[in-house]
């Protein structure tokens, strides 16, 4: 019987996995995961990946199949494994990040050269990024992109779980597996992820139950509730999607199925799927603009007068800016590996516009601390907030952290949860404790700059400074004919 290696990457699932599916149709399957030391990854994402791999390993083992774990240069690993086994080919689902594309391309060429069968599949997007405008250029604006995607493509149905056959004889020579524990994906000293398990259930089963839970209890209030971080109205699927424990096609299909049974939620469902569209758009942009992770898409932003300040940077990261909604977000991120989307925008706006610290710094911090770290989503979203992206919020769209807090966390529930030293404040002052009378502060036992800092910048001044910085940029762009 033929044996194929299926190289798993950010697609750690067994259902709707075209590469696994096809390999299973043709015979036996040897699933392989390679830890590539050259690949950039964040600490929180590694924590998630450890658990995700462990779940996948268990699920496969129940079917009598080992998950091969190897470390090293992927081409070398594949060559060694091909030499040690009877595998006749390698299957994988395609990647769309620049490094992944380059690596897959080189490996495919090399293997084909040796007469080894290589097949790649579409597994991790709704539609591959080949879509373009009538003039042949890639879309830069989300809405036309999404409209055109919906109009021109029917989303392929998700595949069932691959019918994997148990591997008959496990040769110790190649089964000589590495131990997941030896990869040091988990933090040790200190174990800052100890609390993460309270919030997350990594793995395919966890992803499926998360989606069902959201459809049953979050979707009915999605449009209205999604901006309120204290509410449970968002899907929290991002880390599952980022690791491919669930595919966008599955989310698409299962949501539509749910909507057929609950037609009154049609609008909410469309809104939710539109957000899935943003993920799609981010990957589309990364494919067409491979410099997205580090270079502003709007070239004039290369000259932006950033003002890196070590003290501000430290306070932003640790949630000690003196703006409660910002600090709550940064602490939620630190303690759970995730932050509510509304608060991500507020925190990002604050770093970029109030502190004038480069968006790339913020992106790097999020990359390291988010369990859903996703190169396309992270890069595109930071560029979006900075105003330098393809379809960017105008630079002058500056969030006021007090107003945002009052609007989207009116009772201060979210702030009190993550910034407990403010918990005793009345709602009226929860988003601006520095305005509370001395008697109130005294009454709740809060001394500013002791338990909680005063604002590190004055928002109004910071806003004006940011607008000036932006003005200078425009002048440079206009004056300079080159």
Interface positions with DNA (CB under 7 A): 142, 227, 275, 278, 341-342, 345, 393-394, 396-400, 403-404, 407, 459-460, 463, 467, 471
Backbone torsions φ then ψ of 218, nearest 5 degrees: -115, -30
- The answer to whether 107 touches 72, Cβ cutoff 8 Å, is no
**Dihedral pair phi/psi, residue 28, rounded to 5°:** -85, 155
Residue in 19, 5, 20 with CA at minimum distance from that of residue 75:
5
Beta carbon nearer to DNA, 345 or 441: 345
Nearest to 89 by CA among 115, 121, 117: 117
- Catalytic residue of the set 26, 201, 275, 421: 275
Of residues 391 and 421, the one with the C-beta less far from DNA = 391
Q: Which of 278, 313, 334, 434 is catalytic?
A: 278
User: Quick one: 74 or 229, whose CB is closer to DNA?
Assistant: 229
Q: Give the shortest CB-226-to-DNA separation in angstroms.
A: 8
Cα(222)–Cα(211) distance, rounded to whole angstroms? Answer: 13
d(CA 238, CA 372): 5
Give one DSSP letter per residue of 132-178, joined into a string. Answer: --TTSSPP-SHHHHHHHHHHH-PPPPPP-B--PPPPS---HHHH-PP
Token match 């806003």: residue? Answer: 463
Output 220-225 pairs: Cβ under 8 A, ≥24 positions apart. Answer: 220/265, 220/268, 221/268, 222/268, 222/269, 222/271, 222/272, 223/267, 223/268, 223/271
Q: How far apart are CB 240 and DNA at their closest, in Å?
A: 19
How far does the chain reach from its first CA to its final CA, in angstroms? 64
Which among 201, 220, 262, 306 is annotated as catalytic?
306
Annotated catalytic residue, options 174, 252, 359, 384: 359
Output the smallest distance, CB 74 to DNA, in A.
34
Q: For this structure, is 306 an active site residue?
A: yes
CB of 403 to DNA, least distance (A): 4
Residue 341 designated active-site: yes
Q: Between residues 10 and 344, which has the closer beta carbon with respect to DNA?
A: 344
CA distance 401 to 354: 10
378 belongs to the catalytic site: no
359 flagged as catalytic: yes
Residues found in the chain: 482
Cβ proximity to DNA: between 153 and 396 the closer is: 396
Nearer to DNA by Cβ, of 176 and 471: the residue is 471
Q: Closest separation between CB of residue 466 and DNA, Å?
A: 9
Residue 244, Ramachandran bin (φ over 0: left; ψ between -120 and 50: alpha; else beta)? left
User: Active site residue: 177, 341, 368, 421, which one?
Assistant: 341
**Closest approach of Cβ 294 to DNA, in Å?**
22
C-alpha to C-alpha distances, 57 to 35, 49, 51, 84, nearest whole angstrom: 15, 12, 10, 21
Q: Which is nearer to DNA, 59 or 392 (CB)?
A: 392
> Over the Cα atoms of the chain, what is R_g?
24
> Least separation, in Å, of the C-beta of 456 and DNA?
17
User: Min. distance of Cβ 468 from DNA in angstroms?
Assistant: 8
Closest CA to 220 of 279, 277, 271, 150: 271
Selecting among 7, 48, 382, 384, the annotated active-site residue is: 382
Query: Which residue number, 55 or 344, has a Cβ lying nearer to DNA?
Result: 344
Which residues form the catalytic set?
275, 278, 306, 341, 359, 382
């Amino acid at each position: 019987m033929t044996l194929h290696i299926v190289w798993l990457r950010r697609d750690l699932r067994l259902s709707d996995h075209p590469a696994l599916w096809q390999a299973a149709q043709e015979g036996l399957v040897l699933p392989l995961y390679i830890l590539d030391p050259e690949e950039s990854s964040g600490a929180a994402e590694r924590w998630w990946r450890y658990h995700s791999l462990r779940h996948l390993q268990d699920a496969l083992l129940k079917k009598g199949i080992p998950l091969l774990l190897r470390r090293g240069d992927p081409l070398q690993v594949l060559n060694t494994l091909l030499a040690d086994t009877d595998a006749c080919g390698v299957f994988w689902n395609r990647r769309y990040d620049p490094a992944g594309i380059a690596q897959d391309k080189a490996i495919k060429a090399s293997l084909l050269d040796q007469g080894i069968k290589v097949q790649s599949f579409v597994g991790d997007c709704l539609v591959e990024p080949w879509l373009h405008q009538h003039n042949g250029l890639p879309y830069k604006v989300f809405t036309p992109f999404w409209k055109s995607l919906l109009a021109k493509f029917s989303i392929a149905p998700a595949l069932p779980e691959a019918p994997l056959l148990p591997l008959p004889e496990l040769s110790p020579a190649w089964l000589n597996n590495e131990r997941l524990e030896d990869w040091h994906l988990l933090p040790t000293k200190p174990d800052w992820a100890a609390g993460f398990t309270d919030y997350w259930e990594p793995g395919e089963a966890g992803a499926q139950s998360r989606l069902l839970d959201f459809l049953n209890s979050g979707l009915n209030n999605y449009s209205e509730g999604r901006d309120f971080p204290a509410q449970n109205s968002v899907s929290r699927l991002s880390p599952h999607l980022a690791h491919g424990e669930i595919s966008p096609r599955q989310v698409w299909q299962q949501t539509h199925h749910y909507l057929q049974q609950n037609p009154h939620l049609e609008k909410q469902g469309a809104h939710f799927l539109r957000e899935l569209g943003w993920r799609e758009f981010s990957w589309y942009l990364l494919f067409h603009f491979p410099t997205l992770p580090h270079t502003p898409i709007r070239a004039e932003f290369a000259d932006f007068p950033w003002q890196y300040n070590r003290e501000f940077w430290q306070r932003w990261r640790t949630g000690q800016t003196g703006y409660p909604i910002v600090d709550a977000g940064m602490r939620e991120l630190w303690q759970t590996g995730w932050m509510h989307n509304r608060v991500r925008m507020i925190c990002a706006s604050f770093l970029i516009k109030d502190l004038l610290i480069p968006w790339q710094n913020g992106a790097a911090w999020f990359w390291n601390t988010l369990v859903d770290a996703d190169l396309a989503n992270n890069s595109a979203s930071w560029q979006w907030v900075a105003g330098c992206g393809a379809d960017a919020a105008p630079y002058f769209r500056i969030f006021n952290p007090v107003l945002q807090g009052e609007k989207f966390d009116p009772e201060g529930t979210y702030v009190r949860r993550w910034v407990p030293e403010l918990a005793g404040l009345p709602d009226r002052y929860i988003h601006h404790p520095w305005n509370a009378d001395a008697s109130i502060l005294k009454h709740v036992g809060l001394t500013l700059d002791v338990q909680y800092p005063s604002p590190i910048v004055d928002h109004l001044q910071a806003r004006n400074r940011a607008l000036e910085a932006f003005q200078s940029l425009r002048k440079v762009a206009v004056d300079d004919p080159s």
